[in-house]
Structure 1
């Protein structure tokens, strides 16, 4: 693992099926962020979507503002802001304001927009989304560093534009670009020397693209005189954890089929296979795209991701609502209790301390018994053995006489 401490967080699109109250679903997303902070997770990334029904949050900035008032330490990122949907100056101003309001806890994740249906509603050519992301990012990086920018485009214009407030975070808020299989995100991260958000890292396609995309980011960084850091690389994976594998599988029957339906029939994202027969839970398990099992299963998959990628800085759990609310919270808790310590070296000193005590137990026990015996002997010398158990008194006398104690 890169460094000594892997960070953990959540990537909250979110995904809420159409059979529940959307107002309560949004409230539960806020409660999830609070629960994550309580358990020691360090990051939560919030999505932006405008169509297709499941992904309810239209403004990650509004959500972050509310979540920031309910929390104190967890960092909050846009996961991600779809750059072609916004005038860059307006988006930069909102993020800069959040940077001040959160005292530096906000992060700025960007992408081209994941749902083609969002772009179509705004009259944005789907084929131009990635080009527009690149163009917007070029000026956003400069604006968020406090620079003055003039830029003319076929879809936005900047004339001596600059942020009204000096950035709270220096030289800029932390930025990251979303990436799945295509090299778009990796190229943008390398060009600007910013972080990379690898979505779907536990899927076959996403997993296979990890090493290649990082090499692309490093190459583009060299080409532009920048550097990319592995600690700023975040991998997003799908997991649900319970005390046993059978229990985890049983719990995800609550909502996994609805989640699979969304990706197969509605969303244009390659997170699930197009076709799989039989029981949907068993079929999805067979793809190996997610960990539905125990803390040990989660540990094994993160080790696998480490080996394939060469090292990264943060593992983000994709929030999915496969299980009911209580089982979902329990899954995050089990990861915090049993998975995080393995990748944060939280118990290294405890293990060393226990090993030392175990290896020296015989000697420590002898010293302890000798100390107790000396105190008993001292008491017997002063007060006699009347109130001392006879067998103990006999052993003390034997030791005092240099003889082997009986028994």
Structure 2
């Protein structure tokens, strides 16, 4: 059985009215916070436009986060490979592999924001095919092998990375998967992990299990193996003591986020802005958790029922709430949701149940023992205790 791990997915989302400096510092601080709470992973995105998603280099964030932490694994979620020469990316990842002493995970994708591609003259329609071209040579590059390979947009001539990997045979690789089958096909063909960034979006949820089947079929065809422990699902959540409190916490920030998301998301994911209470829309559609730890448990069990076994739930960092409420949300998740799926309290709960069912009988025996002790004293001394 695949043991469920828990992580953080930081796109990030920072309102364009707020200080980007504070936002970036808080992205690092929140990784420190969740490591202390027992989270296993944190992922940083790459974006270059739209104003909200302010991390241009996930590698820089990983380098900074690595010096603040000691255990949590750190992933690129994801590097937009059509914007880079693959040798340069491989060099940076292997440097991080050494700097983190094996804690880096290399996530790659075609690039989400069309405005990114347009600014640098990359044909938006070509992004997925360019990612496929990179996938052919990324494993030998990250393994420290020499690569000669030419495409329409890059040429490698006996190229090798400056460093060989710290993690053998190479750092873990994951590929972004949203709605189309391209991510699953790529993962299966090369044996990569999958990062399902739209797992709770209606269209993404509908194809979760189908894309995994596609990945498995491709793996069988190409002689690779899909490991469910390396399947990661991203879920937007905000948790509070009550549903009412959770909705109150996110009231302003969520409305602003919905305005942004409706502009940047693919067509099938839009339609929230101006359509009513965004929290109610998201929750009723099963697209997010805005509620209690029990609601988070229900969401994850729903995903398990649809997908089957998978390795990691990634709590999407969205900054809908104020800073203290945001940190409290992660704490409540760690206190109540993580132990539920780990079975951490199974023995404690069994012990408490045994106490409930046996206390009357045991108390009777304890009373008899006390009475016997008093009688023994009286028999020996002739005095009542």
* TM-score, structure 2 as length reference: 0.94
**C-alpha distance in structure 1 between counterparts of 2:79 and 2:112, whole Å:** 10
Computed over aligned residues only, the root mean square deviation of the Cα atoms, in angstroms, reads 1.9
Please state whether the residue corresponding to 1:238 is helix, strand or coil.
strand
Aligned to 2:61: 63
Please state whether the residue corresponding to 1:151 is helix, strand or coil.
strand
Please state whether the residue corresponding to 2:207 is helix, strand or coil.
helix
Gaps spanning 5+ residues in structure 1: where? Answer: 389-407
**C-alpha distance in structure 2 between counterparts of 1:28 and 1:378, whole Å:** 68
Residue 268 of structure 1 deviates from its aligned partner by 4.7
C-alpha contact (below 8 Å) 1:276/1:283 kept by paired residues: no
Aligned to 1:151: 149
**Residue correspondences, number:** 385
Residue 12 of structure 1 deviates from its aligned partner by 0.3
Aligned to 1:107: 105
Gaps spanning 5+ residues in structure 2: where? Answer: none
C-alpha contact (below 8 Å) 1:64/1:77 kept by paired residues: yes
* TM-score, structure 1 as length reference: 0.90
Aligned to 1:325: 323
Residue 30 of structure 1 deviates from its aligned partner by 0.7
C-alpha contact (below 8 Å) 2:235/2:314 kept by paired residues: yes
**C-alpha distance in structure 1 between counterparts of 2:280 and 2:356, whole Å:** 44
C-alpha contact (below 8 Å) 2:140/2:146 kept by paired residues: yes
Distance 1:384 1:28, change over 3 A: farther
C-alpha contact (below 8 Å) 2:113/2:264 kept by paired residues: no
Deviates more, 1:366-375 or 1:92-101: 366-375
Q: Within 5 A, what are the aligned runs for 1:289-368?
A: 289-368=287-366
Q: Residue deviations 1:290-333, cap 9 Å, x none?
A: 11111111111111110111121111111111111111111111
C-alpha contact (below 8 Å) 2:258/2:273 kept by paired residues: no
Aligned to 2:228: 230
**C-alpha distance in structure 1 between counterparts of 2:122 and 2:268, whole Å:** 21
C-alpha contact (below 8 Å) 1:200/1:238 kept by paired residues: no
Q: Within 5 A, what are the aligned runs for 1:8-407?
A: 8-266=6-264, 268=266, 271-273=269-271, 276-381=274-379, 383-385=381-383, 388=385
Aligned to 1:399: none
Distance 1:223 1:379, change over 3 A: same
Please state whether the residue corresponding to 2:252 is helix, strand or coil.
coil
Deviates more, 1:240-249 or 1:14-23: 240-249
**C-alpha distance in structure 2 between counterparts of 1:275 and 1:59, whole Å:** 30
Q: Residue deviations 1:119-173, cap 9 Å, x none?
A: 1111111111111111112211121123221111221122222233221111221
Please state whether the residue corresponding to 1:253 is helix, strand or coil.
helix
